[in-house]
A and B are shown apart, each in its own frame.
Chain A
Amino acid sequence: MTIEMFEKPLGMRDDFPLIAKQKANLRKQGTQLIERAGYELLQTPTLEYYETIGKISAISDDALFKLLDSQGKTLVLRPDMTSPIARVAASKLLREKMPIRLGYYSNVFRAQKREGGRPAEFEQMGVELIGDDSLYADAEVISLAWDILKELGVGSARIVIGHTRLLELILADFGLDAEQSGKVRELFVAKNGVGVEQLAKELPIAEGKLASFLKLMQATTVADWKRWINEKNEEQRELYRDMERLEGLLGRNGLGDAITFDISFSSHMTYYTGLVFEFYGAGSGFPLGSGGRYDGLMEQFGLQVGATGFGLRVDRLLESVTAEKAEQPHTLILFDEQSEQHAFDKAQQIRNAGNRVTLQYAPAVKALESFTALFTEVIRGEELRNE
């Protein structure tokens, strides 16, 4: 198939002025909150090695854009921001400054196989808090994400929280081995209730416990989780206490009603080893963002520290945020040879007052009516000459 001149690669989009402006506003509001919370913004390269970031990122191999450098090494367009930031944080320069708080607003790339509707390049904004394994760190990043969603005006925002390790322990208590537990968690990620019911028949779950197993997907509060906690198991007991404390912390930050604690919630991102969470809002059919604790990822960079963070997808936030309709004043000055100097002076005057002006040589405009319709006010050169 020949490529027509107007075509773009699958999943690539132009941001027309209105969208570009909305994005700029979103970026300004979001990064301001991130900076105010004590995070420093950084940029990482667009290209990374396939061997490092490409493999560690947990993004499936066929979603990576790959290319070769002049030495024949495979490169990828960065598919996420968490792994590059982990790489930066593990570098010598920053090790001494732990815990460190880093924030970003960057585009990431994921190739699309299927039809349209999903971008292959999109912006993400988020933070990583590295070197703090306390619950306060988790509560901090969740609350910060929540503040951003509120500030942007996302309607009926919701957070779902789960705990990968605790789920693992609970499944082990049902008598499942690692492989069976993995299968169950995969079905949980997809919330495939039918699959779970079918699989349960083949699992070695004691008859009396089957009903309780099938209820795993229905929990909505930390108190709901209690029925599955084995008090004799110290790790389970501890993690459960942690969840209770987290619920308390977030409640005090005013997030109480917006959170669903779902013990079956888990992520396909394999580097999340503990707490995991996801954000939703009205207006977008896809999650707005996600995050969690990824101590395991830091280990791959040779660092034994706790790390937690979140990323929000700007393209989906845009669907969720009701666009501001209020038009900013935008003046058009149409000049010709005789009014050129007057027009320049007038434009300077309006701009100095902090307002928007477009200066346009009138004879160059082909369709005057549709062009002037784009502006809130139109000043013609002859009017200026007569002033």
Chain B
Amino acid sequence: MNELTIAMPKGRIFEEAYELLVGAGYDLPKELDDSRKLIVEAPNEKFRFILAKPMDVPTYVEHGVADIGIAGKDVLLEHDRDVHELLDLGISECYIATAGLPDTEMDEVTPRIATKYPAVASHYYRSKGEQVEIIELNGSIELAPLIGLSDRIVDIVSTGRTLKDNGLVEYEKIADITSRLIANPVSYRLKQQRITELVDKLREQVGR
């Protein structure tokens, strides 16, 4: 009963996290990500990886079907899941910001905000004392101000390239985002030794 189930987002975060784990001395199979399998075993370390959508990782971990997981802080902020946030892995750095067309003010009566992060956006504007209307979109958020759907957007910015290409400017930064190592509260207690060991090894890697 020593197997550790790890929920990982597919794609870029997976590759960076994979490098971290290998750097920390874990013996993982070479090609972990290039199959279409959703569950991959690393028998030498008794790891089982669940490959998931980034937004879903905290859900798996909260329900305990994965013991630990790697999730972006943006997802953790948006979904407020009951998980332990053990370590900042320092990978996939970016931030959440508000953006819009240059030199514009928000509508005074009904300011509208388009976003993929309704909870983050709502919390941010509320803390500023502004009541706004949130419009939830699933992608290409930058479109919203261009076609008059919203005054501002709240979205992830990594290089700022997409904003620039679409003639948008950044207004306020809301929060810095990196990927975090998260754990299910029960797994943390029942497999504390293995998990703490993993945290310590990864912390050393991150410090480099």
A residues sitting closer than 8 Å to B (CB atoms) are 117, 156, 158, 160, 190-195, 197, 218, 220, 260, 280-282, 284-287
Tell me if B186 and A190 are in contact (CB < 8 A). no
**CB nearest to B63 among chain A residues:** A285
**Chain A nearest CB: distance from B102 CB in Å?**
33
Interface pairs (8), CB distance under 8 Å: A191-B183, A197-B88, A260-B192, A280-B186, A280-B189, A280-B190, A281-B186, A286-B185
A residues less than 8 Å from B186 (CB atoms): 280-281, 284-287
A191-B188, A282-B190 known, 16 other contacts, Cβ within 8 Å = A158-B189, A190-B84, A190-B85, A191-B85, A191-B185, A193-B84, A193-B85, A193-B86, A194-B85, A194-B86, A280-B186, A280-B189, A281-B190, A285-B63, A287-B185, A287-B186
**Chain B nearest CB: distance from A262 CB in Å?**
9
Partner of B180, one of A156, A194, A285: A194
Flag whether B184 is at the interface (Cβ < 8 A): yes
For the complex, would chain A's binding face be called helix, strand, loop or mixed by DSSP majority?
Answer: loop
Flag whether B87 is at the interface (Cβ < 8 A): yes
**Chain B nearest CB: distance from A48 CB in Å?**
26
Tell me if B1 and A156 are in contact (CB < 8 A). yes
**CB nearest to B200 among chain A residues:** A218
**Chain B nearest CB: distance from A268 CB in Å?**
10
Flag whether B118 is at the interface (Cβ < 8 A): no
Interface readout for B175-208 with A: 1 if CB under 8 Å, 0 if not? 0000010011111111010001001000000000
A residues less than 8 Å from B183 (CB atoms): 191
Flag whether B65 is at the interface (Cβ < 8 A): yes
Instruction: A192 to B182: give the CA distance in the assembly, Å.
Output: 9
Instruction: A158 to B191: give the CA distance in the assembly, Å.
Output: 11
**Chain B nearest CB: distance from A142 CB in Å?**
16
**CB nearest to B199 among chain A residues:** A193
Instruction: A285 to B62: give the CA distance in the assembly, Å.
Output: 7
**Chain A nearest CB: distance from B127 CB in Å?**
16
Instruction: A280 to B85: give the CA distance in the assembly, Å.
Output: 19
Tell me if A194 and B88 are in contact (CB < 8 A). yes
Flag whether B111 is at the interface (Cβ < 8 A): no
**Chain B nearest CB: distance from A265 CB in Å?**
10
A residues less than 8 Å from B87 (CB atoms): 193-194
A residues less than 8 Å from B188 (CB atoms): 191
The 9 closest A-B pairs by CB, nearest first: A285-B64, A191-B84, A192-B85, A194-B88, A280-B189, A280-B186, A194-B85, A193-B86, A285-B63
**Chain B nearest CB: distance from A320 CB in Å?**
10
B residues less than 8 Å from A220 (CB atoms): 192
